[in-house]
Chains A and B, each alone.
Chain A
Amino acid sequence: DAGVIQSPRHEVTEMGQEVTLRCKPISGHNSLFWYRQTMMRGLELLIYFNNNVPIDDSGMPEDRFSAKMPNASFSTLKIQPSEPRDSAVYFCASRDGTDYGYTFGSGTRLTVV
């Protein structure tokens, strides 16, 4: 099992550019989560999907952020346009229906300059 796979590992972009983060959950897991980690705010849940359907996006900071899950094996988090305050580590996690624990990916470190 390769675990939750995120790409890219690092992303440096200029303010105003579009950024797309990608996640492949563990096969068979039916829930997927996007978290953001910063020193100031800690770990924040942005959005989660259950069976590919967005259930709660109340943590998405603003309209510049959007997330999709077109199928059970792929999700994207897009920021358009990006701003320096979006700089953070973004984690994807998946969970199966039989265990309360999550499996996290290694994260994408985003730097917006």
Chain B
Amino acid sequence: GNSVTQMEGPVTLSEEAFLTINCTYTATGYPSLFWYVQYPGEGLQLLLKATKADDKGSNKGFEATYRKETTSFHLEKGSVQVSDSAVYFCALTGNSGGSNYKLTFGKGTLLTVNP
């Protein structure tokens, strides 16, 4: 079945540091890939997505590129802010048959940004 593996963290950075959170996946066919963010006490919000190989998703300074050859979708940001402190989840939906609806998540990575 489909699965997502992401670095578990926690990750602690200083403001303006560079961020990378690694994510790799296992899936049949051509899944769609997502990053979700969860701020304390809130639900998950879609941060960015990519639906085919070599697509780059971007939002709020975050970027991730769909790399089919390495089955990866690493999240990056050039300069983090204190307000980016949250839990980040990598996820995918299948693109074949009955698994199309199912959103499979990684374990999540807690990011703390210190001033």
Contacts and interface: CB of A to CB of B under 8 A. Distances in A.
Interface of A: 4, 31, 33, 42-43, 45, 48, 50, 55-56, 91, 93, 95, 100-107
Nearest to B43: A104
Contacts of B93: 100
Contacts, number: 48
A101 B32 CA distance: 9
A33 to B, nearest CB: 7
A95 B101 contact: yes
Contact of B43 (A42, A50, A106): A106
Given A43-B89, A100-B32, A48 B102 contact: yes
B4 to A, nearest CB: 10
A25 to B, nearest CB: 13
